[in-house]
Structure 1
Amino acid sequence: MKKSLKFAGSSVGEPWWVLGDVTRKLLEPLGYEVEVLTASGSTNNPRFVGGGKADFGATVPETLGWAIRGEENFKGETFVPVRAIGRVRRPSWLTAAVRYETGFTSLEQIAASGRPIRLATNDLDSIASVVPKKVLAYYHLTKDEIVANGGEVRKMRDVDWRGGDIDVIITNLYMGRTAVTKHWMTASEHMNLRFLDLADDLIAQLGADGHGKPGHVPFHFLRGIDRPIKALDRVDGILIYCPADTDEDFVYTLTKLYDSNRDQFFNQAVHMAWDPAAVTNTEGVELHPGAVRYYREAGLL
């Protein structure tokens, strides 16, 4: 196995990047040099690992599954076979909030009002928008519908949160102040937000389609969350994975390092856990033989 490796992460501080940094720290004492890539976030991650630009990486199971099957943003693309090393747990939700001054107390009221609104959500062209767009469609808050009423849709990263120039937020949320979740934190600090429940039937349908399960954003998680908020509890795993032909002994050693250093995942700005009860549940992505060998020896399989 070569000693100079590339890990497909995401922007600095994001969960996938953190997992790459953990990997770097664990492998350095063994003489490996690991570069954690930042251009491999979002849709690009499977393209880097499956396209020969990275030796391993981390992404969410849903994105990896779409890439393997050539679905969503990966239609017409093909990649080398990949295998999972392990699943790291990280709580996350799809939730919504409105600026308190709008007077809205439910998402249903927004479209029914016909008022022009300013909506902040994911980049609608990115893989991260696949599920949020289903929520927007359910509530008749698609970009076309909002624009038709004189409103506008903005990417989360383009909003001036301190200026309070946004009315509705619908996007993902997870623990940790990162390039993604800092927008929620800044918004809740500088704006008066009312967090809104998602409809039970919407959550049930998204769950039936494999996008998560019924859940709640915890009470007091952010300023303005004055009760548990009904939300879509997203699949809480992040998969560390690699090409299927990666050296078996190397993957065995890496898997053992991960399992022997579980505290490295928890003691981060992004709260994650290497949970022995969940690490082999890789959401249909086949485990690498090197990982299988370790898990069987450790009694986890």
Structure 2
Amino acid sequence: MLALCLSVAAAGSVAAQPASPPPAPGDESHWQEVGATGFATKRLVLASACAEACPWGELGEFVRDAMKPAGYEIILCRNCNRTEGPRIVAEARFPPPLVDDDLRHGTVKRIKARIDFGITEASMMKWAYEGKFIYAKDGPYPNLRLIARIEDPTYLLVAVKPGLGITSLAEIRERRLPVRILTWMQPSEAPVLDYYGLDRESLKSWGASIVTPKDVTAETPFDVIISSLASPANNPESSFWTKLTVYHDLDYLELPQDLRDQMVAKVDMVHTVARWGVLPGVDRNIASVGRSGEVVFARDDMPDDMAYAAAKAIDENRGELKWFVRPYSIDPRTVGDGKGVPLHPGAARYYREKGYIK
């Protein structure tokens, strides 16, 4: 999820990132010494995120606290890793250098240790494993393994300012409207623009533009929102929806059935309904698509007993998930479902003992 920690670019537009190097001799800028870590210890470094309600940040805190009674010290890498999570876990990298977003949101230290496991969005783990979309140039990463899937639903919604006077996104191209479209251009959003022929160059030709919904306020200039992170929750990636629909009394548009079918088939979405009142201004049931799932994941070299301990701790403490900013939950029927990414054998042993998988 991605304003701070889940932001991704359009499918196929992110180049492979260089591996984050170990600290150079004498380079202590932002580094935080944490001592011995890794699978030979019970001190593991988790690729998490910032402490300001980012989903991967608060889930990192959940995993840290859940595993503590079993004798594990989980050290949180607080970088806003965005799309980098699967990469830095797969390659056991050091955390990447801090950027302005990190510093502005309270992450001022860079853990001086290699990453042992991580938290990311379920589809991103799958895309990295398969080498698709934003991981097409540098993937696949076949050593990734699922430990636990945690449900976390968001909707793909489209909304426009009432003054725009349109009932379909098709009118933007037909009328060459100079609109500002607020979207992350994620693989779960880009198909909407593709369907209506709203590529950047065409939009630019008639004075329209695509704007990243970063640090959105009520005064942020926009005309259209296309976002797969729609939710009434107050995490940074989704909170702009409530803010803008309250201030601007947005009109919500329903996407056509064939587009929704395409997104289910190609970008791991599911058919769902955004029901009356899910957000202010949603005054009817809207047929839509959505996604649900953050994942705790590791490499295939994590010892089985550690993966077992992580799965057990997450499951036994799942009742704590209801107290976080996002509406997390664990479904025994999906907790071990990596959508093609293999379940770590240690986690599989635990879920098999519980009867969650056969």
TM-score, with structure 2 as normaliser: 0.77
Please tell me the residue identity of whatever aligns with 2:178: P
In structure 1, what is the Cα distance between the partners aligned to 2:267 and 2:210?
26
**What corresponds to 1:155 in structure 2?**
212
**What corresponds to 2:72 in structure 1?**
32
Check conservation: 2:89, 2:299, Cα contact below 8 A: yes
Q: Are 1:100 and 2:162 matched, yes or no?
A: yes
Check conservation: 2:89, 2:117, Cα contact below 8 A: yes
Match of 2:120 among 59, 68, 74: 59
**What corresponds to 1:202 in structure 2?**
259
Check conservation: 1:60, 1:239, Cα contact below 8 A: yes
What is the CA-CA distance between 1:80 and the residue it aligns to?
6.5
Q: Are 1:233 and 2:290 matched, yes or no?
A: yes
3-state SS in 1 of match to 2:188: helix
Point out which structure has higher relative CO (alpha carbons under 8 A, 6+ apart): 1
What is the CA-CA distance between 1:214 and the residue it aligns to?
2.1
Which deviates more from structure 2 when the two are superposed, residues 4-13 or residues 280-289? 4-13
Please tell me the residue identity of whatever aligns with 1:74: Y
Count residues with an aligned counterpart. 294
Check conservation: 2:187, 2:267, Cα contact below 8 A: no
Check conservation: 2:130, 2:142, Cα contact below 8 A: no
> In the TM superposition, what whole-angstrom CA distance separates every residue of 1:142-197 from its partner, at most 9, and x where no partner exists?
222221111221100154x3225210000122352111101112111211200110
Match of 1:70 among 92, 116, 131: 131
3-state SS in 2 of match to 1:233: strand
**What corresponds to 1:213 in structure 2?**
270
**What corresponds to 1:268 in structure 2?**
324
When residues 213 and 31 of structure 1 are mapped into structure 2, their CA distance, relative to the original with a 3 A threshold, is closer
**What corresponds to 2:341 in structure 1?**
285
**What corresponds to 1:118 in structure 2?**
180
When residues 138 and 263 of structure 1 are mapped into structure 2, their CA distance, relative to the original with a 3 A threshold, is same
Please tell me the residue identity of whatever aligns with 1:50: A
In structure 2, what is the Cα distance between the partners aligned to 1:158 and 1:26?
32
**What corresponds to 1:20 in structure 2?**
60
Q: Are 1:245 and 2:301 matched, yes or no?
A: yes
3-state SS in 2 of match to 1:34: strand
Check conservation: 2:264, 2:271, Cα contact below 8 A: yes
Please tell me the residue identity of whatever aligns with 2:306: F
In structure 2, what is the Cα distance between the partners aligned to 1:33 and 1:144?
50
Check conservation: 2:232, 2:241, Cα contact below 8 A: no
What is the CA-CA distance between 1:108 and the residue it aligns to?
2.0
RMSD, aligned CA: 1.8
3-state SS in 1 of match to 2:240: helix
3-state SS in 2 of match to 1:271: coil
> In the TM superposition, what whole-angstrom CA distance separates every residue of 1:102-133 from its partner, at most 9, and x where no partner exists?
111222222222121111110x4xxxx12211
Larger relative helix fraction: 1
Q: Are 1:297 and 2:358 matched, yes or no?
A: no
- Structure 1, unaligned runs of 5 or more: none
In structure 1, what is the Cα distance between the partners aligned to 2:123 and 2:71?
33
What is the CA-CA distance between 1:76 and the residue it aligns to?
3.8
- Structure 2, unaligned runs of 5 or more: 1-38, 94-114
3-state SS in 1 of match to 2:331: coil
Which deviates more from structure 2 when the two are superposed, residues 74-83 or residues 269-278? 74-83
**What corresponds to 2:250 in structure 1?**
193
When residues 57 and 154 of structure 1 are mapped into structure 2, their CA distance, relative to the original with a 3 A threshold, is same
> In the TM superposition, what whole-angstrom CA distance separates every residue of 1:52-85 from its partner, at most 9, and x where no partner exists?
0321112223211221222222234254712111
When residues 299 and 211 of structure 1 are mapped into structure 2, their CA distance, relative to the original with a 3 A threshold, is closer
Which deviates more from structure 2 when the two are superposed, residues 39-48 or residues 192-201? 39-48
Please tell me the residue identity of whatever aligns with 1:237: G
Check conservation: 1:164, 1:191, Cα contact below 8 A: no
Check conservation: 1:92, 1:175, Cα contact below 8 A: no
In structure 2, what is the Cα distance between the partners aligned to 1:103 and 1:29?
57
3-state SS in 1 of match to 2:296: strand
TM-score, with structure 1 as normaliser: 0.91
In structure 2, what is the Cα distance between the partners aligned to 1:292 and 1:70?
24
